[in-house]
Amino acid sequence: MGSISRPVTEFCLDLYNKLNRNAENTNIVFSPMSISVALALVHLGARNNTAAQIEEVLHARKATGRTSLGSDPESAETEPEGSQEKQLSPSQCNKDGDLNHKEFQALLLQLQNLGERYVLTLANNLFIQQGFELQQQFLTCSEELYGAMLQTVDFHGAVEAARIKINTWVESETQGKIKELFAPGVIDVHALLVLVNVIYFKASWEHKFEEQKTVQRDFKLNQNEKKPVQMMYQKGTFKLGYIEEMGAQVLELPYAQKTLSMIVLLPGDMADGSTSGLEQIESTMTYENLTLWASSEHMFETTVEVYLPRFKLEGTFSLNEVLQEMGMTDVFNESKADLSAMSFAKSLVLSNVVHKTYMEVNEEGTVAAAGTAAAIVRRSLPLKEVFMADHPFLFFIRHNPTNTILFFGKLCSP
């Protein structure tokens, strides 16, 4: 394990940079892990260049095989592609391409067993226009690897019924937290294949915030505007780091049993009148830097007074355009898509990829965790630090055993 940590992080940063364009002052949250899994599911059904482009976007191509696949659709079309042929072996579901389905499967298994203090619901489904004959191998493997069930709907003849069917499925998968994924009229009657990927997350902090310490405080939206928010507070021992060059702080807040952690990247205060702190982090946030900033070598344990707003975030994205910009063009193009491992029909093409993340951040924790905190000897350490998240910041939620980014987001307005 661990080798999907890097590709997921790189995919995360690519996607964040796309979603963050024209998103100044806008909250963002998405799950790079969950979207990667959804695309891996499509990859199971894809062949030739269509499959290769998915591997490229997911950073799954082996270093030696790096090509400009997807960046130039015209030249890709004329390439002889027989050599890239990938076939499902009848005995196992892992294709012999560069994408390691077994690793995603192993990660998903770990995420299903986080324990009772976690709620992490990940659901992937492909909705396909009725009439397409499906490859049995694909049905078997998509269920075996990803627990995904292909469902047949009639977009052409009964798009409203199809919409209701998808929404109902999403609502039931997320225990009612995600309702009305698709508003009326959103689904195209010409749709053939719609990939729906939703994830819901809620967990207990390892060290809970006491509710009576939550107070209303101003959150600075920018230099001139503020808004009152419910600011949680606790003083405890946490891992804290600095990005010296930009006066930013990095705080790790562990969830139950420290299996997952939220890492908050907080730019320096805006008191000096600069709002560029966030952009400065964004522009230097490479894979290497992000990994370094959030590593235990870069952080030290100390007593920290933590102020963090209570927030709920929902992010819904139709990813067709950004995925195409990232190089996954063929799967969306009628004359190029090769989903022949999914269906015998030549004309099958991916119509839509919709991702939705829903997460909540509040005080919740457990009595047991509060008990351990009390064991810390109280002295006034000179090292006491203040972490005041009262202005826009970036955060991500990491699965610590595999170092995989499950969620990534930007909070501009709680």
Ligand X SMILES: *[C@@H]1O[C@H](CO)[C@@H](O)[C@H](O)[C@H]1NC(C)=O
Q: Write out the residues near ligand X by the rule CB under 6 A.
A: 47-48, 73, 77, 81-82, 85, 87, 243, 245, 284, 286, 289, 333, 335-336, 338, 340
What is the widest separation between alpha-carbon atoms in the chain? Answer: 71
Which CB sits closer to ligand X, 338 or 390?
338
Q: What is the 3-state secondary structure (H, E, C) of the chain?
A: CCCCHHHHHHHHHHHHHHHCCCCCCCCEEECHHHHHHHHHHHHHHCCHHHHHHHHHHCCCCCHHHCCCCCCCHHHHHHCCCHHHCCCCCCCCCCCCCCCCHHHHHHHHHHHHCCCCCEEEEEEEEEEEECCCCECHHHHHHHHHHHCCEEEEECCCCCHHHHHHHHHHHHHHHCCCCCCCCCCCCCCCCCCCEEEEEEEEEEECECCCCCHHHCEEEEEECCCCCEEEEEEEEEEEEEEEEEEHHHCEEEEEEEEHHHCEEEEEEECCCHHHCCCCHHHHHHHHCCHHHHHHHCCCCCEEEEEEEEEEECEEEEEEEECHHHHHHCCCCHHHCCCCCCCCCCECCCCCCCCEEEEEEEEEECCCECHHHHHHHHCCCCCCCCCCEEEECCCCEEEEEEECCCCEEEEEEEECCC
Report, in Å, the least distance between residue 344 CB and ligand X: 11
Which CB sits closer to ligand X, 65 or 401?
65
- Angle at CA of residue 78, ends 74 and 82, nearest 5°: 135
Report, in Å, the least distance between residue 219 CB and ligand X: 26
Which CB sits closer to ligand X, 245 or 297?
245
Which CB sits closer to ligand X, 111 or 328?
328
Report, in Å, the least distance between residue 82 CB and ligand X: 5
Which CB sits closer to ligand X, 87 or 295?
87
Which CB sits closer to ligand X, 226 or 336?
336
Which CB sits closer to ligand X, 293 or 307?
293
Report, in Å, the least distance between residue 268 CB and ligand X: 13
Report, in Å, the least distance between residue 46 CB and ligand X: 10
CB-CB neighbours of 333 under 10 Å: 14
Which CB sits closer to ligand X, 116 or 288?
288
Chain Cα centroid distance, residue 175? 20
Report, in Å, the least distance between residue 160 CB and ligand X: 26
Report, in Å, the least distance between residue 141 CB and ligand X: 16
Bridge partner residues of 139 (DSSP): none
Which CB sits closer to ligand X, 218 or 321?
321
Report, in Å, the least distance between residue 243 CB and ligand X: 5
Report, in Å, the least distance between residue 263 CB and ligand X: 15
